[in-house]
Chain A
Amino acid sequence: MREFFSSLKFKIILCVLALLVGLMIYSATTSGTATSPEAILGAIISPIQKASSTISNKARASIDKLINADKYYKENEVLKDQIAELYGQIANATDIEHENQMLREVIGLKEENPDFVFSPPANIIGRESGSLFGAFTIDKGSLDGISKDDTVISPNGLIGIVTEVAPTYARVTTMLSPDIDIGVYSSREKVTGIVTGDIALAKEGKCKMQFILKDSDIKEGDIVVTAGRSGIYPEGRVVGVVDEVGVEDSGLSLYAIITPIVDSNKINSVFVITNFKGKGLGYE
């Protein structure tokens, strides 16, 4: 064994170890931009991941139908009851008018936001292993105009933000992550707060809205949208629905548990907003 430790091979291994430490330090300083080894590997592996992802999604859909048949039957029964209830609401003109006004405020389509610049639709080609926060990799990168901190959405609402970008792929962190903070307000009474991830809630696919003023009128069922004051997220993108409201342990403010409008584990493609009016202009 002593000969091995004094051999040239061991010295080469030590050099490789030093190189890896240097790579780690370099990677830490360039957070947000993929390092060259990552970019090259990602470009090579992406096509394989795309093919594997397609097969995996189809298999998952088939298995899901078999396993969750009972669940879908129960959901169907609940939805039928909901439809019956909605028919009752049709008779009430005031309820419909109020509902329409709320929907106009939260729906952020291209016609209402002509300043949005979208990337080409991106497919999800890989998901972060060993994580509760649902982060994923998309098959579009800087060559498609995507850059770090671009907002990622689906037609239904906000999903997250681009946290790392390479020429041919990008990594997206969802709102379930504690590293993401989103300034929001409720569409009904404009109650403001910050949506961020919580490890305990992330396990259930939910997140937390905090720093809500104690006398705010926020309740279960309220829809929460982006405030657009940080310059990172455009205003008016639907974030989620309030599930539960409670008082913080300090007693000084409220919190709300939010169910995201988009379940990142169930989608296969997303849009990235590469530019919008007010991007980069934080509230002063």
Chain B
Amino acid sequence: MDKVRFTAKLILYILLSLLFYVFMTSMHFTRPPFLLIPLCIAISIFESESKLAISLFGAWSGILCDMAMNKLLGFTSIILLISCLACSLLVTHLIRPNLFNHFVLSISATTIVMLSDFFFGYYIWGHDNTFIIAKSITFPVIIFTGILSPVVFWIVKKISLGIEPKYKPTPEEEID
């Protein structure tokens, strides 16, 4: 039954990731929030026991990000796979699964993704005025993603805890 519940959650997370991908690419945003990143960080936090599944989900989210940004396929996947694994290990052994930690981890992961994109996509090619990309795209995306990350945290929390079995006290515990 636990496997069935986890599979159901995974399907919902995948549908959510597709929705966020469509949101990123259909709207006329120059600086869209990359909601796929806080999504996979939130899933890493709430499903930290299933490290393989969340790592694969991080890779999947990364592939969607690469398609949305028209970048080399696999570039963001590698970053998000490692980020998701690292987050789940942190939550398991070190930090609490709360909103503040999710916000910090989301901002960190988004910063790594966007700065890598800036460095490998623009800076090393020697284009003029690359600082405009940093000012107009890189940092605004990090900020907008951070601002909207609590919403994503709340959605994933609802899905994760909503599908978990409700705790039923035994008759002895009820008497007590």
Measured CB to CB, the residues of A under 8 A from B are: 1, 4, 9-10, 12-13, 16-17, 20-24, 27-28, 35, 37-38, 41-42, 45, 48-49, 52-53, 55-56, 60, 125-132, 135, 137, 164, 171, 178, 198-200, 203, 265
Contacts and interface: CB of A to CB of B under 8 A. Distances in A.
Given A24-B77, A45-B21, 7 more contacts: A23-B73, A56-B26, A60-B28, A130-B30, A131-B137, A203-B136, A265-B28
Contacts of A125: 26
A149 to B, nearest CB: 16
B160 interface: no
Interface string B53-86: 0011001001110011110111101100110010
B129 interface: yes
Interface string B81-103: 11001000100110000000000
A178 B130 CA distance: 11
B141 to A, nearest CB: 5
Interface residues of B, number: 51
Contacts of B114: 130
A250 to B, nearest CB: 14
Contact of A131 (B59, B70, B92, B93): B70
B51 interface: yes
Query: SS class of chain B's interface: helix, strand, loop or mixed?
Result: helix
Contacts of A198: 128-129
A129 B81 contact: no
Contacts of A23: 73-74, 77
Contacts of B26: 49, 52-53, 55-56, 125-127
B124 to A, nearest CB: 13
B45 interface: no
Interface string B17-40: 010011111111111101000000
Interface of B: 18, 21-32, 34, 51-52, 55-56, 59, 62-64, 67-70, 72-75, 77-78, 81-82, 85, 89, 92-93, 114, 117, 122, 127-130, 132-133, 136-138, 141
Nearest to B88: A4
Given A1-B93, A37-B73, A128-B70, A56 B85 contact: no
A203 B67 contact: no
Given A1-B89, A45-B18, A198-B129, A132 B70 contact: no
A9 B68 CA distance: 29
Contacts of A45: 18, 21-22
Nearest to B31: A130
Given A13-B55, A200-B132, A129 B29 contact: yes
Contacts of A52: 22-23, 26
B74 A24 contact: yes
Given A41-B63, A52-B22, A199-B127, A24 B68 contact: no
Contacts of A128: 25, 68-70
A247 to B, nearest CB: 17
B137 A132 contact: yes
B78 A129 contact: no
A199 B30 contact: no
A225 to B, nearest CB: 26
